Amino acid sequence: MDFTTILQPGISLEIKDTVTEQNSASVWGSGGLPVLATPAMIAYMEKGAHLAVEKLLPSGWSTVGTEVKIKHLSATPMGMGITVRAELLSIDGRALHFKVEAHDEAGKIGEGEHSRFIIEVEKFMTRAENKKKQL
């Protein structure tokens, strides 16, 4: 299937949220401070990339994350708003490459690249479940 007919570079999505205890470093275990956790920021970036293309894919198809290359540039305290943006930069077969950025109300807090791969859900899950049979 040629996904370049339905996915084009430039597709993007923004996610807005507020830093709370739920997405703090102390809860995520990535530190003990009441600030946005780096893994939480990365999860928002992955979610943005996933959601940007998910609605355009045919039924039975989805994407999975394959690589993240992220810099967390600045701490964001609890109560502050964040905006995370993912933009599709390129498509190589079923490989998707995104630019991701995160901002809080004071400026940029994170940036980087994220790659995803388009998968056929049923085949992917069958392969994943078959791993249990190898034990």
Task: Look at residue 2 and tell me if it is in a domain.
Answer: no
Task: Look at residue 3 and tell me if it is in a domain.
Answer: no
Task: Look at residue 61 and tell me if it is in a domain.
Answer: yes
Q: Helix, strand, or coil here: 83? A: strand
What pLDDT digit, counting tens, does each position of 66-124 carry?
999 999 999 999 999 999 999 999 999 999 999 999 999 999 999 999 999 999 999 99
Tell me the C-alpha distance between 110 and 4, whole Å. Answer: 28
Enzyme catalytic residues: 38, 46, 72
The predicted structure's pLDDT at residue 65: 98
Instruction: Say if residue 134's pLDDT is above 90.
Output: no
Q: Which domain holds residue 30?
A: 8-133
78 in Cβ contact with 33 (< 8 Å): no
CATH of residue 50's domain is 3.10.129.10
Q: By percentage, how much of the chain surpasses pLDDT 90? A: 96
Please state the domain count of the chain. Answer: 1
Task: Look at residue 1 and tell me if it is in a domain.
Answer: no
Task: Look at residue 39 and tell me if it is in a domain.
Answer: yes
Distance of CA 51 to the CA centre of its chain: 8
What's the full length of the chain, in residues? 135
Tell me the C-alpha distance between 117 and 19, whole Å. Answer: 29
Looking at residue 65, the DSSP 8-state letter turns out to be E
